[in-house]
Structure formats: C-alpha cells, structure tokens
Structure 1
Amino acid sequence: MDEIKEVHTPYEMGVVVPKKVSDQIGEGYGHDCVEVLVAQFHRVGLIVDRVVGLHDEFLKLLAPVEILGKAAAELQLKKRTHIGVDIQFEWDEAEAFIRQADGSFFSWCERFRCYNHMIYGIVNKSESAIILKSNCRDVRWEPGESLVWKLETEAIVKEVFPLHDEIKRKQLLKCWALNWWDLTNQPIDEIYAYYGTKIATYFAFLGMYTKWLFFPAAFGLLLQLVDFGSLQLLVIPFFFICIISWAVLFFQFWKRKNSTLLASYSVGAESAYKYMDMEWSSFHSSVGLVKKWGDGKAEDKENFQREEWSGRMMRFRNDAIIILSIICLQLPFELAYAHLYESIRSDIMKFGLTAIYLFAIQYFTQFGGKVSVKLIKDEQNENSEYRANSLVYKVFGLYFMQSYIGILYHAILHRNFMTLRQVIIQRLIISEVLENLMENSLPYIKYSYRKYRAVRNKRKREKGPSGRKSYFNSRVEKEYFKPMYSASVGEELEDGLFDEFLELALQFGMIMMFACAFPPAFAFAALSNVAEIRADALKILAMYRRPVPRVAATIGAWLNIFQFLIVVSICTNCVLLACLYDREGKWDISPGLAAILIMEHVLLLIKFGFSRIVPEEPDWVKANRMKNATQAQNMCSKQLLRNISGGRGAFVTGTQKTD
C-alpha cells in the first residue's frame, strides 16, 4: 500500500509515567516498567518521543497511517466507500474508502479509537508472569493481562490523554475564536476534523440558534422603544404568537440541519462506536442474556422480563427520589428567597441578594447532580448515551426549579410586573456574568495552581535559587497541567458540553417563559450568544486539554428539554397576558380572557402542527440514504447468488463424482 500517503501529523497521544530514579536502580535490577512500555509501543508500530518534565516523564505517541489502517482492520471498523456504502475496513483495499474533508484518511474519532486499541491492546503473550520494576517497586505482569491497564492500577501510568496539534489549534484560533467579523458563521468542518462530531454539533446548534435570535431580538426592541398606545395589549399577544411560531420553526429546521450533519459526518465507524467511554457493563449483561436465549424454555422469557422491569422500576425509583427532593427541599427554599426578595425595598440589597443566591445555588445543584450520578450508576441503561440522557433530565429538573419558580412567584401571586422585569434583568445579567467568570477563570486558576505547586515542589527538592521563574521546557507538560474538559457533575458520563447546553436551555427558558413580560430579553440573549461562541471557542482551544472525541451527533435529551420549554412557555405567557388584561385580579371570564384561552389552544395546535409542515430530513439526504441502501442490497444479493451458485456447482460436481 505504498500509494496510500498522508500528510505528516504531530504526536497525538500522551502517556504520563514517573521519572526514573537512576541512583535507586543498579545493574541487574530487572525490567524497568517505562523501558518495557516504550519497547512495546515500538513493537506495535508507534513512534515514541520521550520528554522529561518536572516530576514525570511524558511519552508522546504517533502512529503512521499504515499502522492506523491495520488497527482499524483489527477493530473491524466500518467506513464509507466511494459508492456511498459503509463496509468493514480492509487495509489492502484502502483506496475504495473515502477520505475526510481535511484530506486525512481517518477521522479524529477513528484515530482515537485506534490509538486506544493499540495502547491498551498490549498484553503479556508469554506463559508466565513478567516482573517489572519501577523505582524499587515490583509489578507482576500476568499472562494475557493488558500492560497499560496494569500500570494504571499500580499508579505507574498516571494518565493517557490526547494532545493538541499546535498548527491546527493556532489556525482555529485565528479563523474561529479570534474572528469577530463573522458573528455566527463558524468553520464547522474544521471543528469536526479537530474535535469530533459531538463538539461540532454543539457549535453548529449554537451558531444557528444565535442567528435565529436576531428576529425576536429586533421585534422585542421594537416593542420596547415604540409606544403603541391603546394597541399595546394587541401587539403583545401578536408578539407572543410570533415567538412561539419562531421557536417551533427553529427546532424543525434544526432537525433538518442535524440530519444533514449526520449524513456528512457520522460515517459508519463513528456511528457504530457507541461505547467510546468504555462503559461495557450494561452491554455485557445484555449479551449474557442473549447467549442464554435459544433453548425455548419459559424461564428465558421470564429472565428477559425480569431484567426489563427491574431496570424500569430502578429508573422510576431514582426519578421519584429526585422529584420528592425538589418538592420537599428545593421548593421551600426557592419560595423563601422569592418572598424575601419581594419584601426588601432597597434595589442594591435585592441585587446583592440575587448574586448571593445564584452563587449559593451553584453548589446546591452540583450536589444534586452528584447524587443523580450515584443513582444512575444503579440503573440498567443500555449504554453510556442513555445514562447521560438520564442524568440530563434529573439535573435539569433541579435547575428548572431554582431558575423559574421564584419568577413565577412574582408574576402569578404578586402580579408585580415591574419587579418581574427587574428580576429577569438581574437573573440574565448576573447569571451570564457569573457563568462566564466561572467558566473562563476556573480553568486558568486550576492550571496556574498546579503549575505553581509543581515548580515549588521542584525547588524544595533541589533547593535551587529562588529567583528562577520556571522549569517548564515542554508543551506536553503544560497540556498535562491543564484541566480536562469535563462536566461539573459526573465527568464519567458527560463532558463539558453538559454545562454549555444547560446554560443555553436555562437562557431559552428564561426568555421564552416570560416573553410577554420583558420582550427585550431576546436582544440580550442574542448579544450574549455572539460573545458565547467566541468565549467557548477560546476556552476549548486554549484553556483545556484536547477533549476526548465523543460520537453523539445530535443534541440528545436537550432537544426534548427545549421542546418542553416551548410548551411551558405557552402556558406561562397566557397567564401573564391574563394578568395584563385582568388588572383588578377578579379573574372574570371576559372576552379578553376568553380570547387568551382560545389563543393557548391555537398555539398548542401550532406547536404540534408545524412539526408536520416542515420535514425533519431533507429530500437529498433521504434519497442518498435510499440509494446507498439499494446499492448495498444489490451487492449483498449478488454476493449471495454467487455463493449459492458456487455451492450448487460444488454440490453437483460432488454428486457426479459419487455416481
């Protein structure tokens, strides 16, 4: 396969091991762990560069395209061919498979999986255990045992993590994070090539959502700046109808765009790789049940039913625990805050109370999220994607209560629209400022603190001069000290996009549920999201390590949450309009109130009717999928006929010889 060439790529994986203490290892001491590990990496075809840091040694790994191709064949990855059919990859037939948009042969998700296969696939093939040494420690490497897993359990291999490509990272910084001229346009293809499907999908959603926000933002500013006089009570309901229609259409067109992304990016290898996080427990339990099936006994059916209903009851129990905790613990706290806010007269004290409340509630919801993670671990979900969705629903329930119940208290019980608008402004401003400060400052603080501790400990051991500023001489060590791009709750289930989607969902709920009370909130959300695109890009490029690629090509459970918020906003805004029309608070069914009730039913009809008007999948995607399915069916049919014909011919020949 000499004709398969690929542009040289920098080192893509890093392995952290302890530095060798030379004065503690004499001649004949045995097999050094790090030396054996490096030798095994060379044996499987990896290129290794050893870098000595302050306290640790770093092994930078790079695999040539031929080695990646052989690993992909061993993993039986499926890749898209030039005729549009996903076929199991074979290195000898590599020219039949398409390349990525950036010219590389494998996507980042495929390369990462191949690296994991090669790194963790090194096993002891001898018949006896091998004694390894690491700074006067003995480690038994048993036959058939993975070397890297063994060294990780012994805390010798401290971490395996992907490395940034400095050339591509700087290019993305220039054309994406620091490019303020294109407000919502982003290089999605380059983001996908560098980070994978899930992160590319998030930024595609954020860009489309921000672009669509410009219409309600302009409409809301128009209502705020222009005095419509007696027509004001008619203009606001019209604005509300337009907003609901806008939200429904946006998500329908997002589904169309998402299907396009799926057709463009989710090739066979990535879509089939649903277990990127090594979450195999539930998968193996299901496989075990399948293997037991087939005897035709009644107990087989009972085992399946028992597993199914026990899992459902476990999820029901966990959901009940979260709901009861919200009602019994969080609801009284939220109502107490709302009542205290209503009784305070000073605006400065109200602003300070809101800031303290939002700061304190962060820890409360994070604690609730950690409890949710522990509950989810007992559930029998099919894979990590289902577990992550279960976590999303539970944690969002906590945030939903703390974000909106106090505002509903001001709107419905007190009917104080001035206070309501003031609370919305404070919530939007303080929450956005607090979130951005936490998101952008914490990673830098963590990195600076780890770097300071490392340098300080190095000085203490060597007793060097105090005027020396830094011992860092390698970029890989700086990347190692950067924090991981993980979620605030349950980093083993979700990455940092959990917090990004949560922030968008809370913002969407705030501007939608109280649209009639404060229309200019859409303008603030649009400006905030324009800045959010660049801030998130800068954060993920400069402040965090390169994230582990995940294969989810949709926004998952968040789509259901956004659509749920649309239905809730129909109800809340109709209540707000009723408060505007019924100023005396008698709740009489006057013609105006009757019109609001009719409008509520019409909007619900619009919500569920527009989903049929706008198709979720473009015709070209559907036609392309049907074409690929037809070609695959024809190929399988012809191969089957050839096999049958060959078998028939062999059978006839054998019969004649027998005669």
Structure 2
Amino acid sequence: MFSERTDDDFSFGIERLLNEKTYTAVYPLHDGDLRQPGSMRYLLYNEWAAIRRWYRYQPLDYVRDYFGVKIALYFAWLGFYTHMLLSASIVGLACFIYSWITLYDNKPSEDICNSQISMCPLCDNWCSYWNLSETCVHARITYLFDNPTTVFFAIFMSFWATLFLEMWKRYSAEITHRWDLTGFDVQEEHPRPQYLARLSHIKKKQVNIVTNTMEPQVPFWRMKFPATILSFSVVMLLVVLAVATVVAVVLYRMSVLAALSVYQDRVTTSAALFFSTSTAASINLCCILVFNWIYTFVAQYLTEMEFLRTQTEFDDSLTLKIYLLQFVNHYASIFYIAFFKGKFIGSPRKYNKIFKNRQEECGPEGCLMELCIQLAIIMIGKQAMNTVLEMLFPLFYKKLNTWKVKIGLQKDQSPINKEKQPQWIKDFKLVEWGPRSLFPEYLEMVLQYGFVTIFVAAFPLAPFFALLNNILEMRLDAQKLLTFYRRPVTQRVRDIGVWYRILDSIGKLSVVTNGFIIAFTSDFIPRLVYRVAVSEDHSLEGYLNHSLSYFNTSDFQVGSSPRVGSANESICRYPDYREPPWSENRYEHSAMFWHILAARLAFVVVFENVVALVMIIVRWCVADIPKELSAQIRREAFLTNEIIIKQEALRAQNGGNESRLNNLLLNCPSTPDQWDTVINKTLSDSDLDLYIHKQQHSTLQEPSTSNSGYLKAPTQV
C-alpha cells in the first residue's frame, strides 16, 4: 500500500507507481556478470545460450528458477516444437530427394522440354505466340514440388500436427505438475493499473465475487459497447487493407509481365514469369514487415480502449487481434495464388477481364511453382530478417541506455568505474522487459507453424528450414534475455494460454487447405484421371497434348489478338479442357473437364474425412496426462489428505478433545480405495481443494514441536 486513503482499495503495487511515473524503473538484479564464474547468469550463458550447445536439451528447471515460469514455459514449448520438427524435416527431405532423383523420369516435363508447340499469347496486344519449350526449366522445378510424394507428405503433416498438439499436452502436464502450477487460478489476478487509471472517474462500483473487493463498474452502453464496435470496425478495415495490398501486388505482376513481353526477343516467357513472381513476392514481404508494425501499434491501442480488467484478458484479446491481422497479412497473397489465380480466366475466345485487363494466368504446369516461390521468399526471408532485427534492436537500445546512464552520472558528478559499479546501475543500462515481450516471440513461431502446416503440400522443405531457424532462434533468444534485457519479474502461468487454441485451429485448417491445394492447384488429379481413364498403358505418355486445348487464331476476341509476332500462326494451344474449334460446341468445357472436376471434389471429400478420422483416433489413443503421472498425482493427493487428517487429530489432542481424536483415529481410512470412497461421499473436487488449501495454510501458520514430522511432507508436495 502506498496511500493512507482507506477508500482506495487499489493503491498498491509497484506497477501503478511506474505507470504514474513515481519510479523510473523496477527490476530484479541479474545474478552477477556474464564473465563472472560461479553465478547462475554465467552458467546459463555458457551452458544454455551458447550456440555451440544447440544439440543439448535446455536446462528448463534452471531457466524457471532464474526467469520464472512464464518465460521457462515458452522455451519449453519452443524446444518441444523444434524437437518435433525433426521428424517432419526428415520426411520432407526424403520426399524432395526422391523427386530430385526421378526428375528426368517425369514424362510431362520432358515432353515440355522437347515440344515445338506454339502457345497462345499471355497478354493482349503486346504479347506474341511463344514456344512451350521455353518453360522447360520451370516445368522441371515444378516437378520437385508436385509429384506423387506430395499427397503422402500432406497426409503425414496433417497427422503430425495432431500428434504434436497431443504430445504437447502430455509434456505440458508433466511440466505443470513438476513446477506446481496445477492450483494456479488466473481469476485471482488484480486489475491492471491502466484499467484502474482509465476508470478513476467512475463512481459506481461493484463487488468482485472472486477477490471480494470493490471495483469500478464499466458502463456497458456508454463505454464498453462503443469501444468494442470501434475495435471491430478498425480491425475489419485493416483486414480489407491487407487484401487491397494483395490486389496491388497482383496488378504489379500483370504490368511487369506485359512490360517484359515487349522485349520478347531478349527475354523468354519462362524468365519473365520467374522474374515477375520473385520480385512481387519480395515486394509483398516488404509490405508485410511495414504493416506488421502498423498492426501491432493499432491493435494495442484498440485493446486498451476495451476496458479489460486483468493482464491475462488484455493479452488474450490483443493476441487474437494481432494474429487475425497477421494471418491475413502473411497468407492473403498465398491463398490468392493457391486458389484463385488462373482459375477464372476464360478462354482466348472470351477472356474474363477485370478493369479491361486480362487476369493472371498460371503456366502450363499450374500455379504450384509460383506458390512455392511465394512461400519460400516470405517464410525464409521473414525469418532471416526477424533474426537479425531481434538482435540489432535490443543492442541499439542497450547502447542508448548506456549513453543516458553515463550522461546522468556525469551530471551528478558521480565517479564512473565500470569495474566497481553496483549491479543495479549495470542492469539499468539494459533494456526493459515489458509485460508483453514474449508476444512477438510466440507470434513469430505460430506464423511459422502456419507455413509448415497450412501450405506444406506446396513446399515440403518448409519443416527443414523451420528446424534450422528454430535451433538458432532458441539460443539467440536466450542470449538476448541474458545479455540485452533486464531480468524480468517472474510470473506464474498454467499453460501457453490462447496460443494453444490458435495452434489447434491452424491444424484443422491445414487439413482443408492441403486437400484443396492437391486437388485444385497441383496436377495430381488430372494426371491420375488420365492414367486411369484415358491412357491405355496407364502411363503419362501423351498427357501433355491431352491437357492442352486448341484455338483458332482467327477467333480472337476483339482487342486480344497479338500485334507482334508471326502472322502465319493459325492454331495455338492453351492449358484447359475445352472443345476444339472444329467441334460443334467449340470452346465450351469438354466432358473431360467435368470428369476431372468431379474427381477433384471427390478427392477433397475423401482426403478430409480420412485425415479427420485418423486425427480423431490419434486424439482418442493419446491421453492428455500420462498414466504414470496420473497415478503419481493421485498418490500425492492421498498422502496430503492423510497428513492433514492426522495433523487435525493431533491438534484436537492438544486441545483436550480426546473423544474426537479416538473416533478420528479409529475410523481413519488406511488404503487408497478407502480414501477415495470417503472423499467421493463427502466433498466435491473444488470443495476438497479449498479444504486442503485452508488446512495447509493453518498447519504452516501454527506449527508445534510435537508434529514437526508431519509439517515437512505437505511443503514438499
């Protein structure tokens, strides 16, 4: 308490004094110097944070003792996630190696390289006819990510995501028990200082049923409701802005492709496609980094306006807002390439235009290669930039704080001796670790988890690159905490919070997206239908010619015919399943188109139901709590109850109640089954927990010399 006012129930705690600028900073001191042997900080820096120790398990109990449960639980989750990525990386690399070995055995890509097929122009007016063999390299690279192992790896990663979450629940249960977090209740949190400061003018109060204290009551219609509506509206506006950015990048790709086609004598079509896709992905990455900063600032401001009482409520609401915005920001362009690009372009007879411009088209081998490029640039580029910035920013702020402290000591005319400076001055030069500093760390890993699971069918090397990044990220985060930041105030949490629900939602979404990517983005289904229903020897011989439709150049739509190139072309080809110009229903969808569409939809239904069924079986087979741990918890509860009852008997004896003592000792259960029977007949779980808590508190507050032997066991439990 820092006030003498009896009516101010919340004039307590250092956080409010910090918020009111009474104090400049508050922090626990680091344990010695990084170069001072014998200290816990020195030990953690050399045995945990050192990159050369990347192959060792983390000393999580020491991390918990030094930084607290909240930070230790983050590193436990990150270490477990990295460990689970090892199996996914091995399978992904095996699939990639198989596709590399069989690269030149793929009949469609070899037919593309050896073809002399004249293709229809990719744009109006300026683009000319081009030879399909120009996309030879493009087709071979596409095969590395679109081959028979793609389906197997997508199914494997769906199971992996489910198994990862189930195994984490088991591992988290062990950690929660070992660190004694099972009885922690977040509802006991006190209000946030910012919350109380914003409601200081509110006179109407109500009793909090948990803490039994008077708290200001937020008017719903006058303050709560308008703030919620404003927050929702702004978030939706930012989502629309992210989508508009994707549209702008699409227009950029269209304009670059048209511009490069002007120099067709020096630039091939495949090179133009690769250049436009790569530069557009790089621009999209820059937009993502800029919008990330804007979204974070706006989301924090909006969440502050919602009048959320506790820090846990505030963090959960902020997490959902920022993740929704970041999800759209990172994945919108990828969803466009995977599910919309080249799907509704029409035919050369009549293109479906937007603002009088033709839509983007995929190459003859589909959009999977462009999707892979987009994924690789955004995922790997973002991880590399984040790793660099996460180390540079704290280093910059540390130098700035060091300069401020030096100037302040000179003004105070205090002697400056780096070797003899007290620890609090050394730590004051470091960067403050805020209450939400773990949020960007979790966000980065959860976004990476989305890349690894949602779109893994298009980029099987994603788990491998994620593994390499996380091995480095784990040790660099540890170095950053020990080197650049003040030692944070320890916090107790039961689990990773709302992040688990987000991870679970991503795992379920990944089943849907991978099924649609295989069915509609890759060429797996058309090739399968051709093998089964068309090819006589069930091979891909002739598949290329079968997948290209014919078009008579005299039937071009007005304004779409090429002004440059050969004027002698009478027939060109384009990737689609349509009737030829000599057919009665020319340029209409052929029967094969509807057969393939039906096969695509059937595959999605079968894929998702089979994967969902296996996921349910996995969840049913894997228990949330290991059997040994469950038995250990029951055994500890039994010992605790036995000690409490015997302790009560001894207290009754000391009080002179001999008859009550004898009755208690005579009827005291002696086996675990008897204890369970007595407990089930008398108390519910919540009543029992409350009773045990009160009895433990009373025994610890009133020890006696005659029962010292019974006091040690409850403390250990």
Bigger mean CA offset, 323-332 vs 395-404: 323-332
Which amino acid in 2 is paired with 1:545?
Answer: R
Distance 1:496 1:292 in 2: 28
Q: Post-superposition shift, 1:350? A: 6.1
Distance 1:527 1:348 in 2: 27
Distance 1:366 1:542 in 2: 25
Aligned to 1:189: 61
Q: Post-superposition shift, 1:524? A: 0.7
User: Is 1:450 aligned to residue 401 of structure 2?
Assistant: yes
3-state DSSP of counterpart to 1:515: coil
Q: Post-superposition shift, 1:170? A: 0.8
Q: Post-superposition shift, 1:610? A: 2.2
Q: How does 1:521-600 map to 2 (within 5 A)?
A: 521-579=462-520, 580=522, 581-582=525-526, 584=576, 586=593, 588-591=596-599, 593-600=601-608
Aligned to 1:160: 26
Aligned residue among 330, 333, 340 for 1:403: 330
Aligned residue among 371, 388, 392 for 1:437: 388
Identity %: 23
Q: How does 1:485-500 map to 2 (within 5 A)?
A: 485-486=433-434, 494-500=435-441
Aligned residue among 226, 237, 241 for 1:329: 241
Q: 1:307 to 1:642 in 2, by over 3 A?
A: farther
Aligned to 2:339: 412
Q: Post-superposition shift, 1:528? A: 0.8
Question: Deviation digits for residues 198-246 of structure 1, max 9, x if unmatched?
Answer: 1111111111111111111111112222235579754221111111111
User: Is 1:344 aligned to residue 256 of structure 2?
Assistant: yes
Distance 2:336 2:234 in 1: 22
Distance 1:441 1:419 in 2: 32
Q: 1:549 to 1:638 in 2, by over 3 A?
A: same
Aligned residue among 611, 625, 650 for 2:633: 625
3-state DSSP of counterpart to 1:238: helix
Distance 1:309 1:568 in 2: 36
Distance 2:492 2:482 in 1: 19
Aligned to 1:377: 304
Q: Post-superposition shift, 1:482? A: 1.5
Distance 1:279 1:255 in 2: 33
Q: 1:613 to 1:157 in 2, by over 3 A?
A: same
Q: 1:344 to 1:164 in 2, by over 3 A?
A: farther
Question: Deviation digits for residues 379-412 of structure 1, max 9, x if unmatched?
Answer: 4656321221111111100100011010111122
User: Is 1:219 aligned to residue 227 of structure 2?
Assistant: no
> Is the 8 Å Cα contact of residues 513 and 565 (structure 1) preserved in structure 2?
yes
Q: How does 1:235-274 map to 2 (within 5 A)?
A: 235-267=149-181
Structure showing greater radius of gyration is 2
Q: 1:461 to 1:190 in 2, by over 3 A?
A: closer
> Is the 8 Å Cα contact of residues 19 and 194 (structure 2) preserved in structure 1?
no
Bigger mean CA offset, 554-563 vs 233-242: 233-242
Q: 1:309 to 1:552 in 2, by over 3 A?
A: farther
3-state DSSP of counterpart to 2:26: strand
Aligned to 1:288: 207
Distance 1:274 1:312 in 2: 22
3-state DSSP of counterpart to 2:597: coil
- What's the TM-score, normalizing by structure 2? 0.60
Aligned to 1:367: 294
> Is the 8 Å Cα contact of residues 440 and 539 (structure 1) preserved in structure 2?
yes
Question: Deviation digits for residues 323-344 of structure 1, max 9, x if unmatched?
Answer: 5224432221233224424653
Distance 1:238 1:151 in 2: 58
Distance 2:620 2:655 in 1: 50
Aligned to 1:132: none
Q: Post-superposition shift, 1:460? A: 8.2
> Is the 8 Å Cα contact of residues 375 and 451 (structure 2) preserved in structure 1?
yes
Bigger mean CA offset, 309-318 vs 226-235: 309-318
Q: 1:454 to 1:546 in 2, by over 3 A?
A: closer
3-state DSSP of counterpart to 2:207: helix
Q: 1:646 to 1:448 in 2, by over 3 A?
A: closer
Distance 2:221 2:253 in 1: 46
Aligned residue among 428, 435, 444 for 1:503: 444
Q: How does 1:35-50 map to 2 (within 5 A)?
A: none
Aligned to 1:483: 431
Q: How does 1:55-204 map to 2 (within 5 A)?
A: 121=1, 155=21, 157-166=23-32, 167-183=39-55, 185-204=57-76
> Is the 8 Å Cα contact of residues 195 and 309 (structure 2) preserved in structure 1?
no
Question: Deviation digits for residues 392-441 of structure 1, max 9, x if unmatched?
Answer: 11110010001101011112222522221111111122101110111100
Distance 1:574 1:364 in 2: 30
> Is the 8 Å Cα contact of residues 84 and 164 (structure 2) preserved in structure 1?
yes
> Is the 8 Å Cα contact of residues 228 and 306 (structure 2) preserved in structure 1?
no
> Is the 8 Å Cα contact of residues 253 and 277 (structure 2) preserved in structure 1?
yes
Q: 1:632 to 1:543 in 2, by over 3 A?
A: same
Q: Post-superposition shift, 1:650? A: 12
Aligned to 1:56: none
The aligned length equals: 495
Q: 1:149 to 1:379 in 2, by over 3 A?
A: closer
Which amino acid in 2 is paired with 1:163?
Answer: L
Distance 1:147 1:556 in 2: 25
Q: 1:634 to 1:318 in 2, by over 3 A?
A: farther
- What's the TM-score, normalizing by structure 1? 0.65
Aligned to 2:584: none
User: Is 1:424 aligned to residue 375 of structure 2?
Assistant: yes
Aligned to 2:621: 613
> Is the 8 Å Cα contact of residues 217 and 526 (structure 1) preserved in structure 2?
yes
> Is the 8 Å Cα contact of residues 428 and 486 (structure 2) preserved in structure 1?
yes
> Is the 8 Å Cα contact of residues 279 and 383 (structure 1) preserved in structure 2?
no
Q: Post-superposition shift, 1:123? A: 7.0
Q: Post-superposition shift, 1:594? A: 1.5
Q: Post-superposition shift, 1:368? A: 2.8
> Is the 8 Å Cα contact of residues 184 and 207 (structure 1) preserved in structure 2?
no
> Is the 8 Å Cα contact of residues 184 and 211 (structure 1) preserved in structure 2?
no
Q: 1:623 to 1:308 in 2, by over 3 A?
A: farther
Aligned to 1:393: 320
> Is the 8 Å Cα contact of residues 277 and 384 (structure 1) preserved in structure 2?
yes
Distance 1:615 1:521 in 2: 29
Which amino acid in 1 is paired with 2:304?
Answer: K
Distance 1:145 1:578 in 2: 61
Q: 1:607 to 1:458 in 2, by over 3 A?
A: same
Which amino acid in 1 is paired with 2:373?
Answer: Q
> Is the 8 Å Cα contact of residues 188 and 210 (structure 2) preserved in structure 1?
no
